[in-house]
Structure 1
Amino acid sequence: MIKARCICPKNGSEGAKKSSPKNNNVSELRRLYPDVDDEIIENFPFSEPRHNQFDIISRISDAIDEGYRYIILEAGTGTGKSAIATTLARIYEPAYILTMTKQLQRQYAEEFGYPMVKGRGNFSCKDTGLVDTCDIGTCQTVPNSQNFACKFGITKSQYEEGPFAFEDAYGTPIHFRSADQCNYWRQKARAVESSITLMNYDYALLELAYVKHFGKRNLMILDEAHNIEDKLMRRMELNIYNRSLRNDIKKSIPQNMMGYDDPKDWTAFIQSIYGSYKDMGLKELPKNKADRINRTKGRLSELMSNLEAHPENWVVDTSPGSVSFKPLKVDVYANERLFQYADTCIFMSATILDHELFCKWLGIDPKEVYFLRIKSTFPVSSRPVHIKSVGPLSQRAIRRTAPKTIPILEKILEHHHREKGLIHTHNYKCQEYIINHLQDKRLMSHDSKNREQKLHEFEKSRDPLVLVSPSMSEGVDLPYEKCQFQVIYKVPFPYLGDRQIKKRKDMDPKWYAYKTVMTLIQAYGRGMRAEDDYCETYVLDGNIKMLFRNKLYKSLVPEFFNEAIERD
């Protein structure tokens, strides 16, 4: 085990606000748990812990103090991972807590009171009134040549009348121009100065590596950590569109290159368009467009470096009018892009499945890792899995097999006619088939634009609705009467029509199996959220048998899923 830098409980930068524990039951907890460190009890956010919570926090705290740089906690729903995270963040602040979505970010903020930081589009521009959001406000749309300085914004210069805002990662003091402050910059200043800050992964990957208003902290807690690789891959992916090239630099992708699939064959073209972007005059452009051009230059420069250093790690995917460059692995990039911004990283997820593979794919040295797996406390009888195989629902067989699913779905809906349910389709094609062929007024669906709205309607309704969706496998919390049964219509194999996925599968078949099992187990957990909850799950796709017969898949399926299977 390699020692990491010692972390001591302390505040962040000077002036940072120390988090205030909400626990008013400290003396009683000390009496009930005399062997638990006072520091843990004082920083625990609730009046009493769930089963094993103090033990988990103690073990992780000991691992941090022993010098482990990475801690991996695999613990199912009901463990109370958010309370574990917030206790450790308070003890070892300054800290970051990273979540998958703005929704989860907001849940942490509402429950524990930590400031969260969001992009400009979430705030109204004070200079233009309520008409525009900050991403299209005056400071973003006036030409650079006008040197516009928003009276509500910030400056790096020292103004006597301007209150201190924050100190960036380079130690440069930033001040507000006036006491009347921009909504976007006020929330960002509060987040930078706070000893505990909430970010979603997309925002963090941009802010930490590029903007650099936030500095390195003692601790980074990465919730839903099984998604980190996907987030990094998508962040590093670069899409080049003809319409943007024509508008910006009067160029386009040569038609004869659209069949090239070797990244090295694209090097000269990337260098050419990079040079054209570099030669652009930006003074007369609106600031938001100038910033976009500068980001494009940075991304192209970064891509050129990556292709030069690791050409075998990239795949080219072309479609009419565009070309995409996608990484196959992120193990050589993860530390630089994310992990280096904290002395210690804690990864939390219910579906790590195999921590050695998890470390391998993120470039983590196993010698620096402390791994802790906590078994599910949910009774097997409360989360049964019924295998109702109708044959494979693969792309080749689905036309023949799909009609057989309708009678079974009808029986399931009739059996649960007074209960709300969720049907996981994995793709929109299966969703459309069910909606068109299953005549039931209880069914509701969504598209990519109204997903959150429809989910909200489903959650709030008291009617026994059934939501048919390809994208509710994770980040969705449907306890008790919100979801009492669910159907896994199709086993969620990643789409092999994507060249990135196909090449990665060919390179590493276990990665493909891992992604499939992970998504399946995440879907299984949507309706069963507490020890006294109950949710039945039905699996229709005959390909589920592969998970129990193929050794690649079988080795990854967790015991708590296996033990719940009731083969009818």
Structure 2
Amino acid sequence: MNIPFENFTSFRSGQEETIIAIRESKAKYVIVNAPTGTGKTILGMMSSIGHKSVYTVSTKILQDQIAQDFPEAVVLKGRSNYPCPRYRHILHFGKPAMADSCSKKGCAYLLDSDCQYENTKLSALRSPYRTLNLSYLLTEANGPGGFSNQELVILDEADNVEQELVGYISLELGKRDKELLGSYNLSEPEYLSKQETWKPWSEELLLILIPEGEKLENLGNNPPEYLISLKKQVKRLVSKLIMLRDCSDSTWIRYEIEGKTVYKPTWLTPILSERFLFRHGKKFVLLSATFPEIGTYCRMLGIPESDAEVIELPCTFPIENRRIVFDLDSAVDMAYKTQDIDGLLKQVKIILSRHKSDKGVIHTTSYRLKDAVMSLGDKRLTTHAVSDREAVIEAFKRSERPLVLVSPSVERGINLPDDLCRFQIIAKVPYQSTQDRVVSARLYGSKFGQQWYQADAAQRIVQMAGRGVRHGTDTCVTYILDSQFKKLYVQPRLFPKWFLEAVDIGDV
């Protein structure tokens, strides 16, 4: 098989066979469970050859990474990432206006091909290899539609698809939105808990906001900054209100959080998934190193499991390099109502003394538990608040000392190869908080909600364990201290085979 990408001259073991299996699959949904080290990006890019296709990732950072690895691919981001030549003289929140400020009506720069966003989009539409982030694909395919009707859609980091799609569909009203509605003498539904009031309420808002949005599309070449901001706000609200009007039903919930009002589906339904994502492609390749249990995953996405084919790849890293240690005799009860904090801290101290010269990570799942671990007073321990997370992580990486990062929020999106992390502690099974309205509605709403709750916790454990082993000669041991892990471990369907083969039920 010829490789048309200059940075790749040969396949790793098993890659060519996997690419052939993906390309020959007749399933609409090909789910590829590809652990770290299998090179899932090349699997997706090679699968796209000869098809009208798009490769999507979850973040703009990953788009930049693909641009480095695959210079043949055109990377396209949302309009807010490109400067607006028409409004470049206008400051928007202290910065030059970006392309999402322009409605394109009467824009001379479009005629002269001087708009960077439109030029990049045109290049992407013409290229055989194009990389988008999923947020942009949802917005563009359900709007202008240039990237709809694909033969193949590759969804990388596909364990995030459900969260991304639910976020796209949901309506979130912040302080500025409520002030805007108040300026039109509009308020929220009188009976907030009754979903049947939401549709007429959203229709009432749309009757006013749609004409307002149409007026704001004709701003000319020198609009005041506040009108640019208002145009964006109204456009977003109209889009979200249409989805609320057309799609909300008795399974949606409304809740308040941090001054915002959120309207959100409890689950994705097949109708929602098809309307906003899966109608835009004939075949989908879903790639991830950490899928939840596949039956649960398909139902979460609203796709029939019978239409899916699963390809589970083995982990190529030696088992002895990625041990997962769970000792039943010394495990600590960390269930919410019976937490043995003293017992946990005792085990943490034992492990810290064993790894005196090693950097490590302690996953705490909550800031309250993080504070309990920090109370040990060990000078190696370092932690962060919400505001300085990135700065603390970078300082941890740079430090020559054997620091131990204590955090409730590094289960994904952080790579700590080699000496940056030689051990990890999972202090508590990472069940999602039932104080979250969506989690509560799911867990107590159906038997499937309980199945999802366990599958989600298992998936998070796999993600945590993967932070420290990043290549074939890397080593990192992960200690699981919470006795609740046993409830998940005895359900092997919840974990990939390559994870279970590394679990050591032995002494901590």
TM-score (norm 1): 0.77
Contact kept, 8 Å, 1:125 with 1:134, in 2: the verdict is no
Distance 1:391 1:314 in 2: 37
Is the Cα–Cα contact under 8 Å of residues 123 and 133 in structure 1 kept in the other structure? Answer: no
Once the two structures are superposed, what CA deviation does each residue of 1:196-220 show, in whole Å capped at 9, x if it has no partner?
Answer: 1212222222222124343433221
Instruction: Name the counterpart of 1:264.
Output: 196
Check the 8 A contact 1:124/1:134 in 2, yes or no: no
In structure 2, the CA distance between the partners of 1:302 and 1:536, relative to structure 1 (3 Å rule), is same
Deviation at 1:121, TM superposition (A): 4.2
SS in 1 for 2:10: coil
- 1:88-124: CA deviation from partner (whole Å, max 9, x where unpaired): 22x2343211112222222211111122222344445
**1:199 paired residue number:** 132
Q: CA deviation at 1:495?
A: 1.6
CA distance in 1, matches of 2:131, 2:116: 17
Q: Which residue of 1 aligns with 2:41?
A: 82
1:148–1:563 CA distance, 2 compared to 1 (3 A): closer
| Alpha-carbon distance in 2 for matches of 1:350, 1:490 | 22
Partner secondary structure for residue 286 of structure 1: helix
Cα 1:141–1:312 shift into 2, 3 Å: closer
Query: Match of 1:200, as an amino acid?
Result: N
Deviations 1:462-509 (A, max 9, x none): 432322222221232222222211111221111211222112123222
Q: Which residue of 2 aligns with 1:443?
A: 381
Instruction: Confirm whether residue 221 of structure 1 aligns to residue 154 of structure 2.
Output: yes
The residue matched to 2:402 in structure 1 has which SS?
coil
CA distance in 2, matches of 1:96, 1:134: 34
1:107 aligns with 2:39: no
* Cα separation, 2, equivalents of 1:546 and 1:322: 36
Structure 2 unmatched runs, 5+: 220-225
Pairing of 1:277-356 with structure 2 (within 5 A): 277-278=209-210, 280=212, 282-283=215-216, 286-307=227-248, 311-318=249-256, 322-330=260-268, 331-356=270-295
Q: Is the 8 A contact 1:426 1:492 kept in 2?
A: yes
Does residue 274 of structure 1 match 2:206?
yes
The residue type paired with residue 237 of structure 1 is S
Distance 1:120 1:451, change over 3 A: farther
In the aligned structure 1, how far is the partner of 2:84 from the partner of 2:242? 33
Code of the aligned partner of 2:205:
I
Q: Secondary structure at the match of 2:263?
A: strand
Match of 1:54 in 2: 16
User: Counterpart amino acid of 2:364?
Assistant: T
Name structure 1 gaps, 5 residues minimum.
Answer: 1-37, 163-175
Among 19, 37, 54, which residue is 1:96 paired with?
54
Matches for 1:487-502 after TM superposition, within 5 Å? 487-502=425-440
**Match status 1:558 vs 2:490:** no
For 1:454, give the aligned amino acid. Answer: V
Deviations 1:233-258 (A, max 9, x none): 1221212346522334434656974x
Change (3 A) 1:515 1:138: closer
2:313 to 350, 374, 377: 374
AA aligned opposite 1:60:
I
Contact 2:415 2:467 in 1 (8 A): yes
Report the CA distance between 1:57 and its aligned residue: 1.2
CA 1:474 to 1:268, structure 2 compared with 1: closer, same or farther past 3 Å?
A: same
CA–CA distance in structure 2, aligned partners of residues 208 and 224 of structure 1: 19
In structure 1, distance between residues paired with 2:94 and 2:153: 28
1:305-356 residue CA offsets vs partner (Å, 9 max, x unmatched): 112xxx2331222458543211122132122212222222101122334333
Cα separation, partners in 2 of 1:481 and 1:190, compared to 1, 3 Å: farther
Is the Cα contact below 8 Å between 1:424 and 1:470 reproduced in 2?
A: yes
Q: Secondary structure at the match of 2:320?
A: helix
Q: Please say if residues 45 and 86 of structure 1, whose CA atoms lie closer than 8 Å, have aligned partners that are also in contact.
A: no
**CA–CA separation in structure 1 for the residues paired with 2:459 and 2:470:** 17
Identify which of structures 1 and 2 has the higher relative contact order when contacts are C-alpha pairs closer than 8 Å and 6+ apart: 2
SS at match of 1:344: strand
Superposition TM-score, scaled by structure 2 size: 0.85
Counterpart of 1:137, as a letter, is A
Q: 1:422–1:150: structure 2 CA closer, same or farther, 3 Å change rule?
A: farther
Deviations 1:407-447 (A, max 9, x none): 33233233222222122222233233333x13233333333
State the number of aligned residues: 488
Mapping of residues 3-14 of structure 1, within 5 Å: none
Alignment of 1:137-216 (within 5 A): 137=97, 153-154=109-110, 159=111, 162=112, 176=113, 181-216=114-149
The two structures, once aligned, show a CA RMSD in angstroms of 3.1
Give 3-state SS (helix, strand or coil) of 1:109's partner.
helix
Amino acid at match of 1:372: I
CA contact (8 A) 1:45 1:83 kept: no
- 2: distance between equivalents of 1:109 and 1:560? 30
Q: What is residue 30 of structure 1 aligned with on the other side?
A: none
Matched with 1:425 is 364
Identity percentage of aligned residues: 27
Equivalent-residue separation in structure 1 for 2:44 and 2:233 (angstroms): 36
Q: Which residue of 2 aligns with 1:532?
A: 473
Aligned to 2:163: 230
Structure 1 residues 340 and 148 mapped into 2: Cα distance closer, same or farther (>3 Å)? closer
Asked if the contact 1:249/1:276 (under 8 Å) is kept, the reply is no
Q: Which stretch of structure 1 is more off in the superposition, 404-413 or 482-491?
A: 404-413
Residue 293 (structure 1) shift? 0.7
The equivalent residue for 1:359 is 298
